[in-house]
Amino acid sequence: QTFTITVNPIPDINNVASQTVCNNAATSSINFSGSVSGTNYTWTNSNPSIGLSASGSGNIPSFTAINATGTSVTSPVTVTPTFGSCTGSPEIFGITVNPSPVVNSVSNQNVCTGSNTAAINFSGNVAGATYNWTNNNPSIGLAAIGTGNIASFTAINTGTTTETATITVTPVDPGSSCPGTP
């Protein structure tokens, strides 16, 4: 009588790079590999709120990252290699999703020519965000573009009809360069 004894190798996993993306941006796909051909990879994600399910097997396809908070969110992902009945050491990497900064509402102003406007101080959901703005009508006495708060200025109207300027503000998270929505 003959029989066999099969000795499987302990599978491993090559280093997996962590990723950092902005809210509503696509992640890079994550392809697992190791030195043992035929290894199966299972993974768990500790924070499914980023847009990735809590667990899965095989490679992780690109997905749209989500962060509805005002701070960065990092989710550790643990990948475990398995070959036959042998389990290798898990690898942990992170997916960080930076927030989309939002600018809080600013009240409209209505002033007479020669009067000072009220200063405009921008704020939003991301601490330290910067605010880039454009003005579609610089003839009112305000520059066409700027960054940061808008100081009080003397309103100008040299004509005989109402002049209106639309100021568009775009917040930017300086720590991640993630743009907000104007």
Distance CA 8, CA 169 (A): 61
Query: Could you report the per-residue pLDDT of 33-87, keeping only the tens digit for each?
Result: 999 999 999 999 999 999 999 999 999 999 999 998 989 999 999 999 999 999 9
Residue 104 tokens, joined:
């809080």
Q: What is the pTM of this model?
A: 0.80
Distance CA 83, CA 92 (A): 19
Distance CA 92, CA 135 (A): 47
Amino acid at 52: L
Length of the chain: 182
Query: Could you report the per-residue pLDDT of 8-27, keeping only the tens digit for each?
Result: 999 999 999 999 999 999 99
